[in-house]
Amino acid sequence: MLTLTPGAATLADLETIWRGEGPVGLDPAARAAVEAASARVAAAAAGGAAVYGVNTGFGKLASVRIAAADTATLQRNLILSHCAGTGAALDPATTRLMMALKLLSLGRGASGVRWEVIARIEAMLARGVLPVVPVQGSVGASGDLAPLAHMTAAMLGEGEARWQGRTMPAAAALAAAGLAPVALGPKEGLALINGTQFSTALALAALFEGWRCATTSLVTACLSTDAIMGSDAPLHAGIHALRGHRGQIEVAGAMRALMADSAIRDSHREGDSRVQDPYCIRCQPQVAGAAVDLLRFAAATLVTEANAVTDNPLVIGDAILSGGNFHGEPVAFAADQIALALAEVGAIAQRRVALMVDPALSHDLPPFLTPAPGLNSGFMIAEVTTAALMSENKHLANPCSTDSTPTSANQEDHVSMAAHGARRLGTMVQNLAVILGVEALCAAQGVEFRAPLLTSPRLRPVLAAIRAAVPPLGEDRLLAPDLARAAALVRDGTLVAAAGLGAFRP
């Protein structure tokens, strides 16, 4: 079991949860603080003073007092009324991550829930009971209310859940896994649905895939450089040291290592009439390096958020204080930053695809990389597909965090839009993987046209991995399956592993 320490989970922990299926639990040392806060909430529920969310209504109805006998009903009604999501279901991996993030938040001992609630989430993760959570309905303030309500409803035996690959009523899934529905105590429903765990999980999932895409782009860029017989001079360490950006320096260093001892490169060090390569070759360290730096900045924000307490009110010492930690602005900003990085990695990669299929720019490669142009169209329309996906990602990269609309009768009058800001990243990652997959296919074809000259020792295994999945393009054939297989090589890390870049981490 992966044991998490509240407040100290790492990015590697979170990626392990997202990519895996094993049990996840909190360090038992967190229990004392959790139970102390729960006792404080129980005392408040039995007392005469109004405490938001404990013995009052919610949002615009916060001034309505609730009798002590009705506090359990209050929490159940809260969950059922907030199950107003719509759209497709959140994927299982991100659902698991969302539940683990909720564990981390509750485990800090400021939310006032009983340990029994935490244990139920742990048991659901261990036994594979995953709530069905519609992905639309959150505006990213007052927490991801609708998505987290659907998560919580499954704990109550309401709504739907997945178990052993099947979707069924949540009560049936719990029973099949040997679990009983949980009954919520004072404030527990509010603690479960307040928070940014839905949007944070989506942003983290995109970060993990986006980082893999960005790393893959270093590999495909090097292969493309050899395909067009480009220069490695712009990778010189001195150039990048003079600018000083960490990502740029590291990207240039990785690319120098990948291209070292390429016979293709060595063949045109002398007598090449070209003075400079186009920017898509020459400026890859500057562009991909900036994207790497931005992804790292977003990662730092998301790790902080993953370890944060983001519900309301919070138990701090003897006080129960109402604040606004549920506002998703940090996540919205991080999602917008990830979107910018994904769009730019794809934009410069698409220009390399265009470069390779254009005989006026590719240094004597055949038009559209086909051995018989005219009769065959080769990669002509594959390049058009990358242009379409690049343009779509540009539109999707427009900021979501600058949008807001008042909700809940103007009580919640500024919201973050973090949820759909993070959700749109999934589409962007899919698009980027296809762009990079097409670049890999074009670059492999171009390098093979340079035979008998060989690419570098580090890039030859990459070429072999591409060819293990997709054969060279001779006569025209149905290309969509080739593009899908190439995109899979990007998303599953095959090309990064083949190049030995697995240690290039965020």
- Of 455, 423, 457, give the one whose Cα is nearest residue 140: 423
The verdict on whether 52 is a catalytic residue reads yes
CB atoms inside a 10 Å sphere around CB 241: 11
Q: Kind of pairing, strands 166-169 and 314-316?
A: unpaired
167 forms beta bridges with 162
Residue pair 198/148 in contact by the 8 Å Cβ criterion: yes
CB atoms inside a 10 Å sphere around CB 361: 14
3-state secondary structure at position 246: helix
Which residue is catalytic, options 52, 58, 198, 368?
Answer: 52
Q: DSSP characters for 24-76?
A: EEE-GGGHHHHHHHHHHHHHHHHSSS--TTTSB--GGGTTSB--GGGHHHHHH
Is 451 exposed, middle or buried, given 0-12, 13-18 or 19+ CB atoms closer than 10 A? Answer: exposed
- Of 413, 399, 415, give the one whose Cα is nearest residue 327: 415
Q: Which two tokens stand for residue 499?
A: 């190049």
- Of 269, 298, 483, 500, give the one whose Cα is nearest residue 388: 483
First to last CA, the chain: 24
Residue pair 64/56 in contact by the 8 Å Cβ criterion: yes
Is 160 exposed, middle or buried, given 0-12, 13-18 or 19+ CB atoms closer than 10 A? Answer: buried
Q: Sign of dihedral through CA atoms 475, 389, 290, 213? A: negative
Residue pair 215/504 in contact by the 8 Å Cβ criterion: yes
3-state secondary structure at position 469: helix
**Close Cβ partners of 63 (under 8 Å, ≥ 6 residues apart):** 56, 57
Q: Sign of dihedral through CA atoms 209, 210, 212, 216? A: positive
Q: DSSP characters for 409-453?
A: TTTB-----HHHHHHHHHHHHHHHHHHHHHHHHHHHHHHHHTTTS
Q: Which two tokens stand for residue 125?
A: 């993760």
Residues tagged active-site: 52
